Amino acid sequence: MKKFWPIGFLILFFIILFKDFFFKGLIPVPADTLVGAYYPWLDYKWGYEVGVPIKNAIISDVFSYFFIIKHISTDILKQGIIPYWNNFSFSGTPLLATFHSTVLSPWNLFFLLPKYLGWGMNIFTSVLFAAMSMYFYLTVLVKNRIARIVGALVFSLAGPMTTWVEFGTAVWAAGSIPLILLGMEMAIIYHKPKYYSLITVSTVLLVLSGHVQLLTYAMIIVPIYVFFRARNLKKIFLAILSMAVGFLLTAIQLIPTADFYTRSIRADDKYSSTFNYGLVPVTELIRFWVPDFFGNPVTGNTWGGFIYHEYASFLGTLIIPLVIAALFYRRSFAVFFFSGLFLVSLFFVLDQPLSRGFFALPLPLITYSSASRLFFLSVLGGSVLAATFLDSPKWKRVLLITIFLMIITVIANLITPEIFQKISLKNSLLPVLQLTILGFLIFSKKNHRLIPLIILVLITFDLSRYFLKYNPFVRSDLIFPPTPVIDYLKQSLSQFRLTREPGALMPPNTWSMYGFENIEGYDPLYLTGYNRFFHVVNNQPYFNTAGRYSELTDFNPAFLDATNVRFLLSIKPKDPDQISPYTSRIKAMNYPLVFTDGNTQIYQNPNVLSRAYFVKKIHTVPTEVDLANILNDPNFNPRETAVLIKSPDRKSGSGQVRNYLSGPNTFSFEVSASSAGFMVIANAYDPGWSAAVNGQPVAVVRSNGGLLGIDVPVGDFKVVFRYLPPFMSLAVTLSALTWLGVVTSCFVLTRKIV
């Protein structure tokens, strides 16, 4: 039993850490920001005297993207259907292929639980998984159980792990990496099939966790690790092959994602470069031991930096002295490798000429995201180094480092601008106190064997406080609750779309939780063609700058009609003379106001077209530049005209459309055509769409740069569209054949053992 007590300790610790979830029924999701900062929910108090208090507004991406996309995909999975397509944002967009949707993650089983318990279990288990993964990996490196627990706690609760945990992807991905390394170690030592299988299974978990940056980092560091660790070509080959098998098993995820990436905005998105590629000023390194030196968004006193969770590097106040000491420690392979990982990750994350030059390079998967994500690798390296040091400590070195860090902290406070000194000084007191305690214990030269236990107690408190301070837990009734506006839209929207004034009104993607469809949205990965088409809808040039947000700041009324938008939501202006361009356009068009509740107004577009419609004119152009010139013309009317690229001549037609129905990966409608012609369907174009008229396949073409189009015959018929990601057949074949090979190999090996 003695060897199992650390596992029991970790489980009990994390249950206590999540006590608000387990014992109060609160859910780890920042829905307090949704109902406390955005209309139409903001008009209500939800049981509070002055409205819902907001704990942490900067992680709003959790409820506006990750929480939503997880529930959309799992709701479809419950129907026994793989969710390839998202109907609700951007006039439709790929879902499985976005990668961070984690459609195929085994952890989706949690979402079979009622209400939002599945989300809570998903977040809780991700942290526990990361801790256990690191603990078990450390069993092959570190003898001291206290040291292993310390390493596990640091890894699972350090800066990036704590600040990204409620996003639901990064911690799962990070937790898979030590498990892969454990498989590598055991395979190298014992050379048994079960350990190579562990590498494969862990790789599958990593891929399906949905965090592309950590997957990319793992693809770089794991081969380096095994190459220098094994020094045996056969073992190196088998270890890398085991990881490759994991990739082949998940080809059903990787291939659609790789294909979608080539058609997405990702390469054109300038988000990272806008914020200096997420590179971190050297002054920010004080966050390693004083996490809130620059304030905390929860207390509303942040200053002097980028988004808090991008710069969060906290390892634990008492951990960073151990890490620095370990950098000069005995030269075991583990110390050598993880020292290199820690230092190299810091080198590239810090804002200096070489890192700026590197991240300015167009390197897909590496430089298209924030450099600060490298802190995950710093935490991985730091956790192992701290545990390794505690296994065989040399406290004299730590004493000198502790004194040095205290001096740095004092100097940092002295040079802090006076206006912020109160914040930095207040938030430095607890770290300095902890460093003082550690220094005193070392200096006293008594009971040095108790220091690891004291460090465990102190960092348990330190990391728990940090985690609970940052992450909100909210009542389940505050998670996407109904309001009169929501109820009205449910009754009236039918198979039409809505838009909303940008700002404090129904932020991007939140409409999806109610089953509403919108032409807007937010996603780091969505279709370039639709993005360009949306620019014209928004009264901007077709080739305007690409971005992960598509929101109407203004709109072209004719394009709005042609995209099936029936309702427009806006916030009642406090000053009638100061209204947004969006609301000004509504007023200029004299759209009738059909519903008001509190500060939210709903206007109706009387000129909206049905989801599918005939056009009177078809223009064929040789290039997308020619298409852009036509669409940018103020006199262009998308209600009557379709522009196609490199397409055969087509005829215009006329008829009526009825009974539009949509479902997962499909939609259909009935047509009575008085003459054969061309129809535009106001759904986003993607080459994965196929169509059939009365069961007979017809070609699907890209219309007006971003919508679907088909030719239809004369008469009465039914049109059915189905979506399957391009190359999905190849992906399924590769995954299926690999699974078959793995199962067969396991069977053969089992027979041999028997």
Secondary element (H or E) of residue 673:
strand 666-675
- Residue 364 reports pLDDT greater than 80: no
Q: Give residue-wise pLDDT tens across range 187-224.
A: 998 888 889 999 999 999 999 999 999 999 999 999 99
Q: Measured between alpha carbons, how far is 508 from 94 in angstroms, rounded to an integer?
A: 16
Q: pTM for the full model?
A: 0.94
The pair of three-digit structure tokens given for residue 650, joined into one six-digit string: 């087509």
Torsion angle of C-alpha atoms 629, 530, 568, 96, degrees rounded to 10: 180
The pair of three-digit structure tokens given for residue 610, joined into one six-digit string: 């049905």
Mean pLDDT of 464-483: 96
Name the nearest CA neighbour of 193 among 238, 224, 223, 248.
238
Instruction: Identify the pLDDT of residue 750.
Output: 57
**Hey, is 103 helix, strand or coil?**
coil
Q: Measured between alpha carbons, how far is 310 from 371 in angstroms, rounded to an integer?
A: 9
Residues 185, 186, 191, 195, CA torsion sign: negative
- Longest CA–CA span in the chain (Å) reads 96
627 vs 250, 519, 646, CA distance in Å? 38, 21, 10
Does 450 map to a domain? no
Does 659 map to a domain? yes
The pair of three-digit structure tokens given for residue 104, joined into one six-digit string: 């195929």
Name the nearest CA neighbour of 288 among 411, 154, 422, 129.
154
In contact, 547 and 665? CB cutoff 8 Å? no
Q: Give residue-wise pLDDT tens across range 218-251.
A: 999 999 999 999 888 999 999 999 999 999 999 9
* Residue 60: Cβ within 10 Å count: 19
Does 585 map to a domain? yes
Both 649 and 575 in one domain: the answer is no
Q: Measured between alpha carbons, how far is 504 from 482 in angstroms, rounded to an integer?
A: 17
β-bridge partners, 612: 681
Name the nearest CA neighbour of 141 among 381, 396, 395.
381
Last residue within a domain, chosen from 571, 604, 637: 604
CA angle 310, 313, 317 (to 5 degrees): 150
Both 570 and 624 in one domain: the answer is no
Both 599 and 705 in one domain: the answer is no
Does 647 map to a domain? yes
Both 636 and 587 in one domain: the answer is no
Q: Measured between alpha carbons, how far is 406 from 411 in angstroms, rounded to an integer?
A: 9
Q: Give residue-wise pLDDT tens across range 289-346.
A: 999 999 999 998 988 766 888 899 999 999 999 999 999 877 789 899 999 999 999 9
Q: Give residue-wise pLDDT tens across range 486-528.
A: 999 999 998 899 999 999 999 999 999 999 999 999 998 899 9
Q: Which amino acid is at 97?
A: A
Q: Give residue-wise pLDDT tens across range 689-745.
A: 999 999 999 999 999 999 999 999 999 999 999 999 999 999 999 999 998 888 877
Name the nearest CA neighbour of 92 among 688, 728, 693, 701.
688
β-bridge partners, 47: none
Instruction: Identify the pLDDT of residue 469.
Output: 96
Does 442 map to a domain? no
Secondary element (H or E) of residue 754:
none
- Residue 751 reports pLDDT greater than 70: no
Q: Measured between alpha carbons, how far is 279 from 357 in angstroms, rounded to an integer?
A: 11
What's the N-to-C CA distance of the chain in angstroms?
30
Instruction: Identify the pLDDT of residue 309.
Output: 86
- Residue 3 reports pLDDT greater than 90: no
Instruction: Identify the pLDDT of residue 754.
Output: 43
Both 710 and 599 in one domain: the answer is no
Residues 492, 497, 501, 506, CA torsion sign: positive
Confidence of residue 1 (pLDDT cuts 50, 70, 90): low
Instruction: Identify the pLDDT of residue 577.
Output: 78
β-bridge partners, 663: 666
- Residue 579 reports pLDDT greater than 50: yes
In contact, 161 and 134? CB cutoff 8 Å? no
Both 623 and 702 in one domain: the answer is yes
Both 637 and 561 in one domain: the answer is no
CA-only gyration radius of the chain, Å: 28
CA angle 76, 688, 259 (to 5 degrees): 95
Both 486 and 600 in one domain: the answer is yes
* Residue 571: Cβ within 10 Å count: 22
As for how many domains the chain has, the answer is 2
Both 673 and 589 in one domain: the answer is no
Instruction: Identify the pLDDT of residue 648.
Output: 85
Instruction: Identify the pLDDT of residue 278.
Output: 86
Q: What is the 3-state secondary structure (H, E, C) of 231-254?
A: CCHHHHHHHHHHHHHHHHHCHHHH
Q: Measured between alpha carbons, how far is 46 from 628 in angstroms, rounded to an integer?
A: 48
Both 661 and 559 in one domain: the answer is no
Domain of 532, in residue numbers: 478-604
β-bridge partners, 603: 568, 593
The pair of three-digit structure tokens given for residue 187, joined into one six-digit string: 């395979």
CA angle 590, 592, 595 (to 5 degrees): 145
What rounded mean pLDDT belongs to the chain? 93
Mean pLDDT of 158-182: 97
The pair of three-digit structure tokens given for residue 117, joined into one six-digit string: 């318990």
Both 625 and 513 in one domain: the answer is no
Both 671 and 707 in one domain: the answer is yes
Q: Determine the distance from the C-alpha atom of residue 117 to the mean position of all C-alpha atoms in its chain, rounded to a whole number.
A: 20
Domain containing 680 — which CATH number?
Answer: 2.60.40
Q: Give residue-wise pLDDT tens across range 625-646.
A: 999 999 999 999 999 999 999 9
Does 465 map to a domain? no
* Residue 328: Cβ within 10 Å count: 12
Mean pLDDT of 12-25: 97
Which region, left, alpha or beta, applies to residue 727 given φ > 0 means left and ψ of -120 to 50 means alpha? left
Q: Measured between alpha carbons, how far is 368 from 445 in angstroms, rounded to an integer?
A: 50
Instruction: Identify the pLDDT of residue 352.
Output: 92
β-bridge partners, 677: 712
Mean pLDDT of 656-670: 94
Residues 358, 361, 365, 368, CA torsion sign: positive
In contact, 618 and 644? CB cutoff 8 Å? yes
- Residue 465 reports pLDDT greater than 50: yes
Does 311 map to a domain? no
Does 12 map to a domain? no
The pair of three-digit structure tokens given for residue 499, joined into one six-digit string: 């838009």
Q: Give residue-wise pLDDT tens across range 116-151.
A: 999 999 999 999 999 999 999 999 999 999 999 999
Q: Give residue-wise pLDDT tens across range 525-560.
A: 899 999 999 999 999 999 998 888 899 999 999 999
Question: If you search the block for the tokens 């892969």, which residue do you land on?
Answer: 180
- Residue 50 reports pLDDT greater than 70: yes
In contact, 551 and 520? CB cutoff 8 Å? yes
Instruction: Identify the pLDDT of residue 414.
Output: 94
Q: Measured between alpha carbons, how far is 175 from 137 in angstroms, rounded to an integer?
A: 11
